[in-house]
Amino acid sequence: MAEHSFHQLAETAQQINETRSANAKISYCSQYFQSLGNEEDLNLAAQFLGEGAFSSISGKRVTIGSRTYSTCAADFCDIDYEKVFKPCKTALGSASEAIEKLMHNIEAAHKKREPAQLSLQEIESIYEEIHSVSSRADKQHILRNAWKQMTPVEIKFFIRIMTRGSLRIGFETKNVVAALAKAFQKEIDEVRYAHMITGSIGKTAVLCKKKRLDQANFRLFHPLPFMLASSIESRAINNLDGYIAEEKFDGMRAQAHVSGQQVKLYSRDFNDSTHSFPEIVQFFLTKDLPDVVLDGEICVYKDNEILPFQLLQKRIGRKKPSKDIIEHYPVLFISYDLLYHDEYPIFEKKLSERRNLLTKLSQIHNLPITNQFDVEDCDHLNELFERALAHGNEGLILKEVDSTYEYGQRRKSWLKVKKPGGTLDTVMMYAHADSGKRRGNYSDFTLGIRVAEDERYEEEFVPIGKANGRYTDDEMKRLNERIKDLTVEKYGPTLGLIPEIVVEIEFDDIQKNKRTKANYSLKLPRFKAIRRDLSPEKTDTLKDVERMYQQNIDKERLKQEKNPSFYIKQEDPETSTR
Amino acid sequence: MNITKAGYHGILLPELNIGFDYSGTNTRYTFISHAHADHMPRNRQSSVYCTLNTLKLMQRRGFKGDATVLDFGDSIETDKARITLYPAGHILGSAMVYVESDEGSVLYTGDYRTPPSPASEGFSIPDQVDHFITEATFALPIYKWDSHESLGQEIRSFASNSLKNGYTPIFLAYNLGKAQEVMYLLAPLGHQVQIHSAGYKLCDVYEEAGISLGNYEPYDRDTCKGKILITTRSALNNGFASNITNKRIAYCSGWATREATGKQLTINKLIPLSDHLDFFELIRLCEELNPQMVHITHTPNADVVQHYLDERNIESRFLDIEIEEDD
């Protein structure tokens, strides 16, 4: 088997998947990297395993929906999509795994396939080809031809790489970094640094092989990977010593590169968003800055108030905003980190040092930067949190002062503290069966909002969100018994219920969503309580949802005056921390 | 022919006074297909018909009632029907019940496996069936089993490679049927096996039936290191071999087809060894028998089977009977 074949990559990924020990996984991957003779193959192999179909910094991605490749696969296997494919997908909890198994098991699919040991380059061209067309039929045509030349395992990983989700083999980018270090006898830190600079795992791999890691040079206008925060609930933090707090803006995360007369703004997915925000470009150009890279947030800012994300949406993705739009929704870039300064990348410096440099820079050039607060105790944290909310912000970000700026990692270095967007009393409309081992059990539910007195609707309830209600086994059992009694219809794994059970749900935000019956959807809905004390007639209505949405937009926001979320000129540090 | 379900467990032929895997007292003749909990009579005092091996296994699992033993191929006659048992290939003693009457013939499969489990009495089926009452546990085309030969090979190499590298291999297998099948497949290695007590007490029934399970003894925490261990998932979660640090775990079940199973259970190796037939074998068997009606039980995916049978012009319906978690 040719080392450079995609088949070899898929088999390696499968072997990694079937191995539990992290070290053994890294060994398999590093042996594979060593086996690759040429640099282009190594580049692609690392990219496919660590990033996806295209390099992250390219900003390119294959846009293809699961329905597009799933119906294509059903067709390829001569099976009915609704009646056969969907139950298979439900049973496995994965469309790509269902496709792998069906391609393997079904005679009709076997006959069509003649594995051709496609090379990594050929796979890349197939991704390019899919990227270049837009209609579903065109994409499916390309898929069909590609699959004809692949084995089932290749097809599975081809899909997972294409959709840029996880490969689901328990092997993340940081493991690919470790595998590269092992394969080419480098220090992990060295490899990680090169990855941070290049923003590309493929390039990093090639530099490892060529023994040229020292050539990983930062270049302006090549976005650096963003550091991310984890939610404070997900981490056991006993002690807030060593953390500072900043308010968490409800804006658009962005990286600004400034050099001479050139300014670029990159969004979190490395897309160049400069054209959407001409006044930010103008702002930076008038400040006479040295070459810098700033990490920060773009927010709509007007009359000393930070306005909600919903208004910023009118700016995002707009190629050329009109004068009118700019006037109505003026934006500001609020910096909170400095990544390149004085001709050197500084992400390996501690936050406290980066912050000092950022503060100085902002004083000299009048840049808006976040206000940082020392956290004294829990009461103080609550006070800060409440004020952040009053400002119209999402909550707080806690940052470890000694932490370096690391790509991606959601560890303890940055923690977000957020408040739920609100709660609603809803009614259980559908119960969805768990797949596989827990089947027969229902713990996912579609929740409905009342529209009984709503002249726009004929039904009593329309779906507003889907949430998981996994409770203790006992509660689950009780709930499932109740569901049995309330079931009126059965659609495969889904039960239609008499609207009886009232569920109070909590969510992060309400968004407009034209593709739903309610025209609104909830961000991160989750169970708060089953309200046995409430009858379905007493639940919240769609009009309540609309009111909440509007209220969030109209809500009084604390002006940026005393103890602001950010400031432009440094205040007396004594007053700014309390 | 009137075929009804008796609650969530068991099936009745009311006119013929016959029940299959039925726990109530409303029939004169109750046939028990095999000794798995979801098929055994719930009432431990019931009076039933079954094979000798099924009776022995049921007794070791607490059955105290009366049973009339019926050999494969032998028939009993009632005033309205003749009943014959056919080997089901699922576990030792497992039988399919064939009923011939003026109303036509019925074959109730219980759980079955074709090609049969090598640790069973084999599989055979009558030529003519009007009503085929079949389980369909693995009723999706994602389920297609490898041959016993290659699965046996997989099991043996997992055990010997683990031992070679200093690990104690543990097989997770249901304690009746799968456990003994795994032991039977491991026997050629000649290595000492230890099996969890719930499974151990059933092994002599296999030996008496002439199925050699190799060199085995009951699990002993103090001496289990370096032996091949056989246990269930629940026992493993309750401290089984928790004193052994270097171990490798294989899960033997049809459900092991799913990749997610390995992640949920923190398992080293998934071996899709099932004691049920796979989807393709099921459809092929329905085609071969070509009965008037296929009655589908024990499945969350009857719709899929029905869709395939519709395409083949075979009439079918779903008899909704709950299926037990263990394979």
The verdict on A158 and A246 lying in the same domain is: no
Half-sphere exposure of A359 (CA within 13 A, CB side): 12
**CATH (domain of A37):** 1.10.3260.10
Torsional sign, CA B61, B67, B69, B74: negative
Q: What is the pLDDT of residue A574?
A: 45
The verdict on A139 and A10 lying in the same domain is: yes
A87, A94, A440 member nearest B140 (Cβ) = A87
Q: Looking at the complex, does the CB of residue A534 fall below 8 Å from at least one CB of chain B?
A: no
Q: Looking at the complex, does the CB of residue A104 fall below 8 Å from at least one CB of chain B?
A: yes
Q: Is position A553 within any domain?
A: no
**CATH (domain of A486):** 2.40.50.140
Residues 6+ apart with CB under 8 A from A574: none
Q: Which residues of B touch A494 (CB under 8 A)?
A: none
Which residues between 424 and 443 in chain A have a beta carbon less than 8 angstroms from any beta carbon of chain B?
433, 436-437, 439-440
DSSP 8-state secondary structure symbol assigned to residue A541: B
The verdict on A112 and A23 lying in the same domain is: yes
For chain B, give every residue range classified as CATH 3.40.50.10890: 148-271
Pairing label, strands A252-259, A262-267: antiparallel
Please tell me the total count of domains within chain A: 3
In angstroms, the CA B171 to CA B192 distance is 14
Exposed e or buried b for every residue in A97-110, given b needs 16+ CB within 10 A?
bbbbbbbbbbeebe
Q: Is position A578 within any domain?
A: no
Q: Is position A192 within any domain?
A: no
The verdict on A115 and A43 lying in the same domain is: yes
The verdict on A376 and A268 lying in the same domain is: yes
The verdict on A466 and A497 lying in the same domain is: yes
CA B17 to chain A, closest CA, distance in angstroms equals: 30
Q: What is the pLDDT of residue A409?
A: 60
A94, A97, A439 member nearest B300 (Cβ) = A439
Pairing label, strands B104-108, B131-135: parallel
C-beta atoms of B141 and A105 within 8 A: yes
A88, A97, A168 member nearest B140 (Cβ) = A88
Apex A494 CA angle, A488 and A499, nearest 5: 45
Q: What is the pLDDT of residue B321?
A: 67
Q: Is position A551 within any domain?
A: no
The chain A residue lying nearest B326, using CA atoms, is: A437
Q: Which structural domain, as residue segments, surrounds residue A400?
A: 230-419
The verdict on A412 and A445 lying in the same domain is: no
Q: Is position A576 within any domain?
A: no
Q: Which two tokens stand for residue A499?
A: 């609207």
CA A533 to chain B, closest CA, distance in angstroms equals: 32
User: Which residue type is seen at A118?
Assistant: L
Residue A35 and residue A67 in contact, taking contact as beta carbons nearer than 8 Å? no
Show which of A116, A131, A162 is a domain's final residue. A162
Q: What is the pLDDT of residue A571?
A: 46
The chain B residue lying nearest A93, using CA atoms, is: B260
In angstroms, the CA A486 to CA A499 distance is 8
Q: Which residues of B touch A171 (CB under 8 A)?
A: none
- State which residues of chain B have pLDDT below 70: 7-8, 263-265, 321-327
**Residue count (chain A):** 578
Residue A207 and residue A65 in contact, taking contact as beta carbons nearer than 8 Å? no
Q: What is the pLDDT of residue A577?
A: 41
CA-nearest of A228, A358, A244 to A293 is: A358
Q: Looking at the complex, does the CB of residue A105 fall below 8 Å from at least one CB of chain B?
A: yes
Show which of A372, A398, A419 is a domain's final residue. A419
Best residue in A101, A480, A494 for a mutation probing chain B (most B CBs within 10 Å): A101
Residues 6+ apart with CB under 8 A from B251: B171, B172, B233, B261, B262, B265, B267, B269, B270, B271
Q: Is position A370 within any domain?
A: yes
Q: Which CATH number is associated with domain B4-142+276-318?
A: 3.60.15.10
**CATH (domain of A354):** 3.30.470.30
Q: Which residues of B touch A17 (CB under 8 A)?
A: 259
Q: Is position A323 within any domain?
A: yes
Q: Which CATH number is associated with domain B148-271?
A: 3.40.50.10890
Q: Which two tokens stand for residue B253?
A: 């079940």
The verdict on A355 and A275 lying in the same domain is: yes
C-beta atoms of B259 and A94 within 8 A: yes
The verdict on A52 and A108 lying in the same domain is: yes
Q: Report the complex ipTM.
A: 0.93
Q: Is position A38 within any domain?
A: yes
In angstroms, the CA A287 to CA A568 distance is 12
Q: Which residues of A touch B266 (CB under 8 A)?
A: 20
Query: In the beta sheet, which residues pair with residue A566?
Result: A370
C-beta atoms of A83 and B304 within 8 A: yes
CA-nearest of A537, A470, A472 to A502 is: A537
Residue A337 and residue A295 in contact, taking contact as beta carbons nearer than 8 Å? yes
**Other C-beta atoms within 10 Å of B71: how many?**
11
Q: Which residues of B touch A19 (CB under 8 A)?
A: 268
C-beta atoms of A88 and B261 within 8 A: no
Residue A385 and residue A395 in contact, taking contact as beta carbons nearer than 8 Å? yes
C-beta atoms of B140 and A105 within 8 A: no
C-beta atoms of A97 and B259 within 8 A: yes
**Residue count (chain B):** 327
Q: What is the pLDDT of residue A513?
A: 83
pLDDT in tens, chain A (578 residues): 566 899 999 999 999 998 888 899 999 999 999 999 899 999 999 999 999 999 877 878 888 988 999 999 999 999 999 999 999 998 888 899 999 999 999 999 999 999 999 999 999 999 999 999 989 999 999 999 999 999 999 999 999 999 876 788 889 888 999 999 999 999 998 998 898 888 889 999 999 999 988 888 788 898 888 888 887 776 666 778 889 999 999 889 999 999 989 999 999 877 889 999 999 999 999 998 999 999 999 999 998 888 888 888 888 878 889 999 999 999 999 999 999 998 888 988 999 999 999 999 999 999 999 999 998 888 888 899 999 988 888 899 999 999 989 876 657 889 888 877 788 999 999 988 876 555 567 888 999 999 988 888 888 899 999 988 766 667 777 888 888 888 877 776 788 898 889 998 988 888 888 878 899 989 888 888 888 888 888 899 999 899 888 888 887 888 888 888 888 864 444 444 43
The verdict on A345 and A438 lying in the same domain is: no
Show which of A365, A385, A419 is a domain's final residue. A419
The verdict on A97 and A237 lying in the same domain is: no
The verdict on A137 and A34 lying in the same domain is: yes
C-beta atoms of A105 and B304 within 8 A: no
Q: pTM of the prediction?
A: 0.76
